[in-house]
Chains A and B, each alone.
Chain A
Amino acid sequence: MTEVVTKQSAEEAALDERQTRPKNIGAKVKRTEDPRLLTGRGTYVDDRRTPDALHVAFRRSDHSHARILSIDVTAARAVPGVVAILTAKDLTEATPVHAESRMPSYYATPIRALASDKVRFVGEPVVAVVAESRYLAEDACELVEIAYDPLPVVTDPEAAVASDAALLHEEAGTNVLVQREFKRGEFETEMFAAPVRVKGRFRFHRKTPAAMENRCYLAEYDTGRDELTLHSSTQVPGIIRNALSEALGMPGHRLRVVAPDVGGGFGGKASLYPEELLVAFAARRLGRSVKWTSDRMEDLTATSHGFDEIIDAEMGLDHDGRVMALIADVIGDVGAYSIYPWTCALEPVQVVSFLPGPYRIQNYRGAVRAVATSKAPTGPYRGVGRPISTFVTERLLDMAARRIGVDAREIRLKNFIQDHEFPYRIGSGIVWDRSSFTDCLLAACKAVDYEALRRRQAEARSAGRWLGIGIASYAELTGIGSRISVAPGMPLNTGTETAKIRIDTTGGVTAAFGVASHGQGLETTLAQVVADKLGVRVEDVRIIQGDSNAVPNATGTYASRSTVLAGGAATLAARIVRGKAFKAAAHLLEASPDELVAEDGRIYVPNTNKTTTYKEVARAVYLEMGRLPPEVRGELEATSTYDPVLGTTTSSTHIAVLEVDPDTYTVRLEKFVVAEDCGKLINPLIVDGQVHGGVAQGIGAALYEEVVYDQQGQILTASLVDYVVPAAAEIPPMHVVHMETSSPAIGGYRGMGEGGTIGAPAAVANAIADALAPLDIEINELPVTPERLFRLIEAAKSRTGDEK
């Protein structure tokens, strides 16, 4: 089959129902990945033993913005064990890579393996030392001498916008790498007419994904064939293969990118990195395998950061609390480069795309500027833009609710898009399909016993305690198809996914996909889908993923896409393979294919003794001469490509319950409840795990995590002592409630990998503001550290003192 499939008919879905006895989709199937990972037998890139591999250490910029005057490698070159030292001058034949976009006024910064001419952030790779071991490479790295001419630092994104600001990329003529505006309705007149107006300046500080496995790249090179395999801790093997092809001028069939076991990504491993280019280039140049293993300081300084926006927003409402207009101006600090392939537009533009959220807000203006600064580039980080848009909109709603005197729950119920209004186009142009907006809020309130909680809060307040309850509702677009770019204006299709399913001569089932699991358990969930649709056992299915060779366009796992797209593709391909096997089986059983049912690897006619197995059928098709006629002896194989076109809407409400300590100003989370609608669940254990992990990252974003640069552009959070990732003691017990509204996608799935991080920061911020409502404190800046809280509370106390 050559066409891309965008939907299935009711008859096709009914055929699956009739011909199989599904027992895995929806079941808490134990993960097939686990035994190897639990016994230390996983293979992360750094675990791969490649004989005679060379090791790279990078000498990185210690300047925020400076011209490189000279590089002296004489002393470093003399260190025993050093094989080569590379600078930008050695890489002139490598083509710079650009993250393209269709957006007007966009400037694509060139991405090179090593800085040439200028450095633009502390941590940018300048010199690569290649040696026989990592220890020796690092020894030699210390001896490299680089002379710099410091240039004005560009650390404040608001100052960087000014016409006289120092330019990071002179060729761009500005530090504003892209700007965008969404407008809909009479936002100005409605705002002016609104009897209730709330506004604020919101600040969501920079974060970093901090996956537990640092990035690691190993290029294995076959000199005779000029073939290169990059083993990469990446989420996007096919995308990296494409970039390497461009940079090295090599065709894709001699390039392969493999992502084996990957120790978390969260978006941080979803982009191309200079180190990937360098390792691949060096392997080919030196004719040897070359490896680089990042340390944690390199990870915190040079893996893409996330978020980092300043939002000036105002919401106008009527006396009943119905939103009349929303206006926002956003500045996104995107760092020094526009990251490949997503561009620097991804994160900040997504903020204005999603600000109207799950609400009926037809009068909307959202404007955004993505501003280059001399800091590490930002890239996708779990939630992308939506943790910020949700933080702003949910805060404004709570501020308005308090002003009007309605409850936080009621104001949301008044403004939600209602079930009869779907599909609904929000002010930024995003279209929501039907999802449980209202039901999620009600379910979350029920799960925490909201009324009882409010009564408890009243008691606590009268005892002088600061107990807070915070609600945050949101909707997100997941499983995005080909109609919409995952990143705004990105001319790269990420809206299709391919499944290649084949049954070999032994009856073994192999299913290959373009996704790249890095903790999500896709080897299990996709095996559950294939097993149910073919009618075999989960353990009979081997999933191939994380490999640019698995399917022609193996873009990977990002943007909450994998279950929706790969699950749909698996359903389509499995149906075709089952059909082929049934035709052969019908011959063997002297039955009609329509009578057959497949279950646990058996194929049989119900209520008869006519039974065979996939194994037997495979043997008959491939190995046994003359047993079957030629027309049913075609390979038991199918390739299907699925495109959900628009994608699916996932919705959720988060509720945080917490208390602020009046002595230390620390926030103690008591519990956290999530009610979410990700459509049909494939594996409830895995879905819960994804939600928990996302919420923990959202709590980190709300209370602990912040990448800090000083005014000289030096990064102050270059260790895990300074960048605080929450541990078990900081995370409260969590409870997840599922709504299962079927989605328009094949299988009824919705994506849910990122949602936890989207709702949690807003819920925590609202809960803190709620706890401190007696002091009339608003929480507009995250993370809420004890120091920030101390300042807010002190200011509020002196304010009330003044009034008295």
Chain B
Amino acid sequence: MIAHKTIRMTVNGTTYERSVEPRLLLSDFLRHEFGLTGTHVGCEHGICGACTIVVNGDSVRSCLMLAVQADGAAVETVEGLGTLQKLNPVQAAFQDQHALQCGFCTPGMLMTITDLIKKYPLASDAEIREGLSGNLCRCTGYEHIVKAVRALVRQPGSAP
């Protein structure tokens, strides 16, 4: 076994220090070390986007990063959005528009959209679809997800 390495990471606002195997995936680190199982692992090769989280302000695939690569980073996961009692605007839009079915791709979608709406105007459906194209959903056919994003960007001040 290779020597462990100590890393510091801020996860949803709290800073942790942990000793990890260098080969440990960031997705597994979040799920197993902190029980943040909202980050789902769908393909482990960077295509499906289910494991998308936000690292230092950018959406990334947590299955394509090692935990040690996130040493010193600020990480946001779906658990850092709204709560069961008070969904944040992105989550609420998803519920209002029925933009989720099985829910497995949903956390990755939410984190991608959280990043997208901060950075892009998403003025047309084509732009929204392009923005979502790194996240696969097998249930919804995307229609209601596009509708949820459209509702979000048209609603002033809705960005979380």
Contact = CB atoms under 8 A, between A and B. Distances in A.
B103 A519 contact: yes
A729 B130 contact: yes
A80 B2 CA distance: 13
Could you say which interface size class chain B belongs to? Answer: 35 or more
Q: Which among B35, B44, B47, B145 has the highest number of chain A CB atoms within 10 Å?
A: B47
Given A728-B145, A729-B133, A519 B78 contact: no
Interface string B70-104: 00000001110111100100010011101011111
Interface in A16-38: 28, 30-31, 33-38
Nearest to A30: B95
Interface in A682-706: 685-686, 688-697
A692 B144 contact: yes
B129 A38 contact: no
A734 B87 contact: no
Contacts of A734: 141, 143
A399 to B, nearest CB: 29
Given A40-B37, A263-B103, A35 B84 contact: yes
Given A33-B103, A689-B101, A728-B129, A697 B87 contact: no
A727 interface: yes
Interface in A423-456: none
A30 B82 CA distance: 17
A42 interface: yes
Interface stretch (A184-192, A206-214, A243-251): A206-214
B84 A39 contact: yes
Interface stretch (B3-11, B105-113, B151-159): B105-113
Q: Which among B78, B100, B105, B141 has the highest number of chain A CB atoms within 10 Å?
A: B141
A212 B81 contact: no
A416 B110 CA distance: 45
A465 interface: no
Nearest to B97: A685
A489 interface: no
A693 B143 CA distance: 9
A46 B142 CA distance: 25
A223 interface: no
Contacts of B126: 729
Nearest to A730: B133
B45 A296 contact: yes
Contacts of A295: 43-44
B102 A211 contact: yes
B129 A720 contact: no
A295 B51 CA distance: 13
Given A212-B48, A689-B139, A725-B138, A264 B110 contact: no
B135 A727 contact: yes
Nearest to B142: A728
Interface in B37-53: 37-45, 47-48, 50
A34 B96 CA distance: 10
A255 B143 CA distance: 41
Contacts of A89: none
Interface string A719-742: 111000101110101100000000
A37 B98 contact: no
A520 interface: yes
Contacts of A695: 141
B39 A40 contact: yes
A226 B46 CA distance: 41
B145 to A, nearest CB: 7
B47 A40 contact: no
A23 to B, nearest CB: 19
B125 interface: yes
A719 to B, nearest CB: 6
Given A263-B102, A688-B98, A733-B125, A727 B139 contact: no
A731 B142 contact: yes
Contacts of B142: 692, 696, 727-728, 731
A322 interface: no
Interface in A741-771: 756
B36 interface: yes
Given A46-B41, A212-B138, A38 B91 contact: yes
Given A33-B103, A36-B84, 11 more contacts: A34-B100, A38-B81, A39-B38, A40-B36, A135-B21, A212-B48, A212-B50, A689-B98, A692-B140, A725-B136, A728-B128
Interface of B: 1, 21, 23-24, 31, 35-45, 47-48, 50, 77-79, 81-84, 87, 91, 94-96, 98, 100-107, 110, 125-126, 128-130, 132-146
Interface of A: 28, 30-31, 33-44, 46-47, 49, 80, 135, 209-214, 261-264, 266, 295-296, 518-521, 685-686, 688-697, 719-721, 725, 727-729, 731, 733-734, 756
